[in-house]
Structure 1
Amino acid sequence: MSQPVPPPGNPFAQGAEPAQPTAPQAAPQTGNPFAQGAEPLPQPPFAPAAPARSNMGLGLVAALVAALVAGGAYGGIAGAIEREIGWAAVGVGFLVGFAAGKAGGRNPVLPVVSAVLSLGAVYLGQLLAVAILVGKQLNISVGTILTDHLDAVQALWKEDLDPLTFLFFALAAFAAFSGSKKAAE
């Protein structure tokens, strides 16, 4: 009569040869999805998509509104203190660019458009400052000066042009361009 052969690997079976010791196998790590034999981490049932960050229309509207507000503030400050401040022009440009970048995202058109709008905002602010100064001297409201005598305000602005004025334009455009790129990141 022959004895039944036990299954391999059972050292306690009768008549079995002792099994060769094997190296212990490492348990798969659940935290490392690249480990051999590991299962990937469970994913949440719903992963929200990244928000759309390229809305050029919204960026243009935000830049236009910011340009009007910042230009008005720039002109009001310059007219009140009877001088222009270079940092205020930088602030106008940065505000326009920041609004365009935050609202419109990474659209490559927005930095250029915000630079152009900041030039217009600084120009309108300088015209407003001239109108405020003329209004103080002649005791006429700024609204009347801007609506009835805009050509005279522009002529006074042209007479007052100097290299510093162009520097303010350049600073505003640069701040708008770089501010739009930074805000979109």
Structure 2
Amino acid sequence: MSQPYQQQPGPGAPGQQPYGAPPPYAQPPAASGNTGLAVGVGIVAMIVGAVIYGAIMRASGGDAGEYTLYAYPAAAAGILVGLAFGKLGGRNPALPFVAIVLGILGAIMGQFLGYAMLINHWTDGQIGIATAFTDEFDLLKEAFKEDFDALVAAMYAVGGAAGFALTKRLGNG
């Protein structure tokens, strides 16, 4: 008698599956970016942004004790940090949040540096910039508190947001 179907495996281990073994897994993608280098360059970029902001603040100061706070230079610190993190840091998920902190710190440092440069200018160099940070820091803090309002807070937020956005955009590209 001829059987229309092949013989089915008996009880026990099943037979071999068709097509053999599955192919091996692909290698994971190579790690992109150097987080340590990105953080180092980001800190340098934050300092450069702070110096730019302080210099613009000093340039806006007059001889009668007036000065102007600008929003764009405050965002420059965040932009520079975001560029450094995005280009050098790769896709590290923590870097955008570090960029927020460094962008805001850069703007605050720039504002304090601007106050110190203005004090140096208004005293005709009798109080140096370093001396303003060491001996006259209470005066810097008082000026900072006096100028701090919602607009300044928004200025800092723009700097942090710029750092976050650029890090995300350039890191994922």
Q: Which residue identity is paired with 1:84?
A: L
TM-score normalized with structure 1 length: 0.69
Match of residue 78, structure 1, among 57, 64, 69: 57
Secondary structure of residue in 2 paired with 1:72: helix
Partner of 1:169: 156
Give the percent of matched residue pairs that are identical in Structure 1 and Structure 2. 35
The structure with higher relative contact order (CA 8 Å, sep 6+) is: 2
User: Once the two structures are superposed, what CA deviation does each residue of 1:47-94 show, in whole Å capped at 9, x if it has no partner?
Assistant: xxx864142211211111111111111111112113222122222211
Match of residue 57, structure 1, among 24, 36, 48: 36
1:52, 1:101 → 2: CA distance? 14
Larger Rg: 1
Higher mean C-alpha displacement, 140-149 vs 60-69? 140-149
Higher mean C-alpha displacement, 53-62 vs 163-172? 53-62
Q: Does 1:127 align with 2:112?
A: yes
8 Å CA contact 1:101, 1:182 repeated in 2: yes
8 Å CA contact 2:75, 2:107 repeated in 1: no
State the number of aligned residues.
137
Q: Does 1:108 align with 2:88?
A: no
| Structure 1 segments of 4+ aligned residues over 6 angstroms from their partners | none
Higher mean C-alpha displacement, 82-91 vs 158-167? 82-91
Partner of 2:169: 182
* Aligned CA-pair RMSD: 1.8
Unaligned runs of at least 5 residues, structure 2: 1-28, 62-67
TM-score normalized with structure 2 length: 0.73
2:57, 2:150 → 1: CA distance? 17
1:84, 1:152 → 2: CA distance? 17
